[in-house]
Amino acid sequence: MPGLEDLYREIILDHYRNPRNRGELEVPPAHRVEGFNPLCGDEIVIYLTVDGDTVTDIKIGGQGCSISQSSASMMSAAVKGKTVDEVRELTKSFKSMMSIHEHSLEGEDEPAEPTAESVAKLGDLEALRGVVKFPVRIKCATLSWNTLAQGLDEALAGA
Amino acid sequence: MALTDTPHGGRATDADPLDAAAIAADFPLLGTTSHGRRLVYLDSAATSQKPTAVLDAMDRYYRTINANVHRGVYDIAEQATSAMEAARAKVGRFIGARSTSEVVFTKNATEACNLVVQSWGRANLAEGDVVVLSLMEHHADIVPWHILAAEKGLELRWIGVTDDGHLDLSNLDQLLDGAKALGVTAMSNVLGTITPVADLCAAAHAAGAVTLIDACQYVPHNVTDVAAWDADFVAFSGHKMCGPTGIGVLWGREELLDAMPPFLGGGEMIRDVRTDGFTVNDLPWKFEAGTPPIAEIIGIGAAVDYLEGLGMDAVRAHEVELTTYAMDVLGQRFGDRLTIHGPADPAERGGVLSLAFADLHPHDVAQVLDEHAVCVRAGHHCAKPLMRHLGVSATARASVYVYNTPADIDALADALDATAEFFMV
């Protein structure tokens, strides 16, 4: 049976206690997007500046549990300065680590296990791997990523 | 008019009249373990555990008299029908209904609220009409009104909540002025607050408003008398009162139900169907389209028998006793690190304790409690307007029932200690 230490790794608690990129950006030029976890009431606000094809700045607001907050904090650090394609790739790797695969009902493909390479790219985010063993908490970890994906789509559509 | 703050129902006693440890033995699930420890179930406000008597009654139906109701003339069909209608009579007596015509079965309390809003509301409300709700309401008594308000252009007004966790009735007369309906909870599922339902109904009626009482948290824990409340509609569910899921109850004043259009259409709810229309069945079947949840209705009847066997006065006294113990123990052990939302006096509240612990998120608290086999609910409890009012996104909620003992509260306190240690707060 998974223990609490699998879920609450030290680096997660560090990001929870000292969240990175916390705050707001001026809208516009930044884009603002909100995400909700209807299950537990967690709320996240992401401010995103996309310049050309690069995420030049990101700030995080809202409130939530240690898993959702640390995931958002680590995400902000990981995507800042990355290109949109790199961010989308990272999102895919992260969600794959969370055992979330974009299933197609027609597809024959077995979802690929996350590769060592894709996990390596996740850096600190790898600490969230233990969340998979606590299925109810997966939505906490992915809230910021889903919200970011929505924000990117909106920011690019509006550009 | 002036309203007193006296809550309906609650009163403390010196001694606990229930032997909760013996009662727990009636509930098979409470004898199980989780993470290798004795299961400590403190989430009865979400759903209660089920006693063997309820499980057996439902099983007996399926094994010995399973047949559709109000149709066959054969023996088991008649037995099934009479078992179902006997359960309706039990439920009606349990809440002080005048007749079984007033007891409508739904799939849950949420559907009961939707029935009132979609049937009574749609027929009786028009653009600009006012509906008064409270900030303590569960989403089930908010969202159906939002849906109709968007469609019809209704105005929603909100009764506030005081700092000590009661409804703020200081401006009730203004809020009710010109209102057509009042939707209010009898007991908050977050704060445990027992509201003055009889006074609220009197004030609403004086203003010409119809009342919908959400009694989901109240009925399982208190003596309920819809006539003494002088309410118009009362909604509650079976699964929070030792009964099964999938069964809710709408009690309604007969003359109102009689005048209302049907909610769902289909079999059972009709008297005649022609190519050019239909006529409706008598109450309460007019509101029960399709094959009803027969086993669940028999189950809620058995739950009523079980609770009446304990005595609802005794149930309430036990919970006041246990809530007092919990507030004392948690207050002594955690002091300022722990906040219990809602009224400070156990006589003014039910056994629902929404906790804020240090600066920890409720989800994280509940996760560590789970490791200690202590089951509590973490989240917004389907009451987001109240959460916003309290300035929190969620709470960890421990709630007690007939089978909980002081040992369960001690287990909660020990697990909170472990939580503090784990997160170093």
- Other C-beta atoms closer than 10 Å to the C-beta of B312 total 17
Chain B residue set in contact with A, beta carbons under 8 Å: 35, 361-364, 367-368, 371, 378-380, 384, 387, 393-394, 422-423
* Per-residue tokens: B302: 């058995």
> B120 and B231 share a domain?
yes
> B211 and B354 share a domain?
no
Mind listing the pLDDT tens digit for each residue in B95-147?
999 999 999 999 999 999 999 999 999 999 999 999 999 999 999 999 999 99
In this prediction, residue A153 carries a pLDDT of: 92
pLDDT at B241 over 70: yes
Q: Which residues contact B80 (CB under 8 A, 6 or more apart)?
A: B61, B65, B66, B67, B68, B69, B294
Element (H or E) spanning B389, and its range?
helix B384-390
Contact B363/A40, CB-based, under 8 Å? yes
> B184 and B272 share a domain?
yes
From chain B, the residues in CB contact with A8 under 8 A are: 364, 422
Rg (CA), chain A: 15
> B122 and B239 share a domain?
yes
Tally C-beta pairs within 8 A across A and B. Answer: 47
Rg (CA), chain B: 22
> B280 and B323 share a domain?
no
From chain B, the residues in CB contact with A137 under 8 A are: 363, 367
In this prediction, residue B393 carries a pLDDT of: 84
Q: Hey, what amino acid is at B362?
A: P
Interface pTM, i.e. ipTM: 0.81
pLDDT at A102 over 60: no
In this prediction, residue A105 carries a pLDDT of: 56
Element (H or E) spanning B131, and its range?
strand B130-134
* Per-residue tokens: B173: 């007369």
Contact B364/A65, CB-based, under 8 Å? yes
Contact A67/B363, CB-based, under 8 Å? yes
From chain A, the residues in CB contact with B371 under 8 A are: 3-4
Region at A23 (left for phi over 0; alpha for psi -120 to 50; beta for the rest): left
Residue pair A145/A71 in contact (Cβ under 8 Å)? The answer is yes
Cis peptide before B284 (omega within 30 of 0): yes
How far is it, in rounded angstroms, from Cα B20 to Cα A157?
A: 61
Total of domains in chain A: 1
For CA atoms A52, A58, A63, A69, the dihedral sign is positive
> B200 and B247 share a domain?
yes
> B271 and B395 share a domain?
no
> B290 and B379 share a domain?
no
Residue A11 is part of a domain; what is its CATH number? 3.90.1010.10
Mind listing the pLDDT tens digit for each residue in B218-227?
999 999 999 9
How far is it, in rounded angstroms, from Cα B48 to Cα A46?
A: 39
Mind listing the pLDDT tens digit for each residue in B140-175?
999 999 999 999 999 999 999 999 999 999 999 999
Minimal Cα–Cα distance from A127 to chain B, Å?
17
How far is it, in rounded angstroms, from Cα A84 to Cα A96?
A: 18
* Per-residue tokens: B278: 């239909």
In this prediction, residue B3 carries a pLDDT of: 32
**Could you list the residue range(s) of the whole structural domain that residue B292 is in?**
53-309
In this prediction, residue B6 carries a pLDDT of: 36
Of the candidates B361, B371, B380, the beta carbon closest to that of A65 is on: B361
Q: Which residues contact A27 (CB under 8 A, 6 or more apart)?
A: A47
Q: Is there a domain that residue B254 lies in?
A: yes
Q: Is there a domain that residue B176 lies in?
A: yes
Minimal Cα–Cα distance from B139 to chain A, Å?
12
pLDDT at A121 over 70: yes
From chain B, the residues in CB contact with A4 under 8 A are: 367-368, 371, 422
The H-assigned helical ranges of B7-155 are: 20-24, 52-60, 75-94, 109-115, 122-124, 143-152
Give me the mean pLDDT over the B361-390 stretch: 94
Poorest-pLDDT segment among B70-74, B83-87, B375-379: B70-74
Residue pair A69/A35 in contact (Cβ under 8 Å)? The answer is no
Q: Is A14 touching B (CB cutoff 8 A)?
A: no
Contact A41/B379, CB-based, under 8 Å? yes
Tell me the average pLDDT of chain A. 85
Strand B277-280, strand B270-274: pairing: antiparallel
Minimal Cα–Cα distance from A38 to chain B, Å?
8
The larger pLDDT score, comparing residue A156 to residue B316, is at B316
Q: Is A42 touching B (CB cutoff 8 A)?
A: yes
Q: Pick from B363, B377, B422, B424 the residue to mutate for testing the A interface (most A CBs within 10 Å).
A: B363
> B67 and B146 share a domain?
yes
Contact B364/A66, CB-based, under 8 Å? yes
Q: Is there a domain that residue B2 lies in?
A: no
Contact A40/B379, CB-based, under 8 Å? yes
Residue B302 is part of a domain; what is its CATH number? 3.40.640.10
Helix axis angle for B312-334 and B294-310, nearest 10°, is 80
> B100 and B25 share a domain?
no
In this prediction, residue A157 carries a pLDDT of: 87
> B218 and B348 share a domain?
no
Q: Hey, what amino acid is at B153?
A: G
Residue B242 annotated to the active site: no
Q: Is there a domain that residue B163 lies in?
A: yes
Of the candidates A3, A4, A140, the beta carbon closest to that of B363 is on: A140
Mind listing the pLDDT tens digit for each residue in A77-94?
999 999 999 999 999 888
Q: How confident is the model at residue B260 (pLDDT cuts 50, 70, 90)?
A: very high
The larger pLDDT score, comparing residue A105 to residue B190, is at B190
Strands (DSSP E) along B226-309, which ranges? 233-237, 248-252, 270-274, 277-280
From chain A, the residues in CB contact with B379 under 8 A are: 39-41
pLDDT at B4 over 50: no
Q: How confident is the model at residue B1 (pLDDT cuts 50, 70, 90)?
A: very low
pLDDT at B197 over 70: yes
Give me the mean pLDDT over the A44-57 stretch: 93
pLDDT at B9 over 60: no
Contact A40/B387, CB-based, under 8 Å? no
Contact A4/B364, CB-based, under 8 Å? no
Give me the mean pLDDT over the B378-398 stretch: 92
In this prediction, residue A99 carries a pLDDT of: 81
Go through A103-139 and write b for each residue having 16 or more CB atoms within 10 A of its CB, e for each that does not.
eeeeeeeeeeebeeebbebbebbbbbbbbbebeebbb
Helix (H, G, I), strand (E, B) or coil at A142: helix
> B213 and B322 share a domain?
no
**Could you list the residue range(s) of the whole structural domain that residue A93 is in?**
4-158
Contact A7/B394, CB-based, under 8 Å? no
* Per-residue tokens: B268: 């059972």
Minimal Cα–Cα distance from B376 to chain A, Å?
13
Tell me the average pLDDT of chain B. 94
Contact A64/B361, CB-based, under 8 Å? yes
Go through A67-84 and write b for each residue having 16 or more CB atoms within 10 A of its CB, e for each that does not.
bbbbbbbbbbbbbbebeb
Q: Is A134 touching B (CB cutoff 8 A)?
A: yes
pLDDT at B66 over 70: yes
In this prediction, residue B10 carries a pLDDT of: 36
Nearest CA in chain A to B369: A4
Residue pair A101/A27 in contact (Cβ under 8 Å)? The answer is no
How far is it, in rounded angstroms, from Cα B193 to Cα B195?
A: 6
How far is it, in rounded angstroms, from Cα B252 to Cα B99?
A: 10
